[in-house]
Amino acid sequence: MTPSGWVNHLPVEKRNELFYIQVEVGRGLIHPISDFSGDASSLRNSVVEVKGEEYAVLHKAMWEVLSYRCKEDLITDIAQEWEDWTCYDPPTLTPPHLLPYANTFPIRAGSNCLSATLLAITQQEWIVHEWVHPQTFLQRLALEDYHVIPSKGLRAGDVVTWGNADGIIQHASYCIDGQFFFNKRGQTFFNAWSVLHGDDLKGDWGHLSMKIYRKKKEYEL
């Protein structure tokens, strides 16, 4: 394990070479200075120029010395690159166990759309922080007695999936009231758990094959 702050102790030439490689291969947390809306002066020791563009290469030692305001500006700028933060107020029928998560960001990466959907149907909060495999997701749907139904309208409690040509799930979401969904677009902590309208999901995933899953006792009514 490397000691904390080791990057700062590298010779300037070696450090710049390391940062240059990170930018070139796209590894690590890298942010163009030109996109940074805050005061960039405190980032100068972690900036490298590549093909005429300056990039801040974020690392632990650099992060620890930044001001709170600079950290806030950076996180806001970077998060906006991941998605546009579209969201709606939770509708009346939103289950109580989803309210603490609706339109909030996770504190760590890993949670994906499948785990968010399983939180909705199981009420088991531990699962919302996990990365869930599509096959595991389908197994849990079956365990919860959810089955595919004909596409003839959505109702509260339905689970909707979108799959590729091979039938592999690319996205899933939980229907709150027939129009609005509890959703997560990606698996980073920059992707919020959000309330979206069905039209938003259609715009994102409408090019894929959609399936509706409903709890058996619900479609027997």
> Does 158 lie in the same domain as 108?
yes
CATH for 125: 3.90.1720
Burial class (CB in 10 A: 0-12, 13-18, 19+), 32: middle
Mean pLDDT value across residues 186-211:
92
Residue 120, pLDDT above cutoff 90: yes
| Residue 48 is assigned to a structural domain of this protein | yes
| Residue 212 is assigned to a structural domain of this protein | yes
Q: Bridge partners of 196? A: 181
Segment 127-171, tens digit of pLDDT:
999 999 999 999 999 999 999 998 778 999 999 999 999 999 999
The residues near 116 (Cβ < 8 Å, ≥ 6 apart) are 101, 128, 173, 174, 182, 183, 184, 193
Mean pLDDT value across residues 11-19:
74
Contact yes or no for 193/88 (Cβ under 8 A): no
Continuous H helices in the chain: 12-25, 60-65, 68-82, 113-122, 134-143, 198-205, 216-219
Domain count along the chain = 2
**Amino acid type, 51:** K
Segment 67-109, tens digit of pLDDT:
788 788 877 777 776 667 789 999 999 999 999 999 998 888 7
> Does 103 lie in the same domain as 207?
yes
Q: What is the pLDDT of residue 218?
A: 66
Q: Distance (Å, rounded) from C-alpha 190 to C-alpha 75?
A: 8
Q: What is the pLDDT of residue 99?
A: 98
Instruction: Supply the range of the domain harboring residue 213.
Output: 96-219
Q: What is the pLDDT of residue 18?
A: 74
> Does 75 lie in the same domain as 39?
yes
| Residue 89 is assigned to a structural domain of this protein | no
pTM, to two decimals? 0.72
Is residue 216 very low, low, confident or very high in pLDDT (cuts 50, 70, 90)? confident
> Does 157 lie in the same domain as 70?
no
Question: pLDDT averaged over the chain?
Answer: 85
Segment 32-51, tens digit of pLDDT:
777 776 676 767 667 777 88
> Does 77 lie in the same domain as 101?
no
> Does 125 lie in the same domain as 30?
no
Burial class (CB in 10 A: 0-12, 13-18, 19+), 86: middle
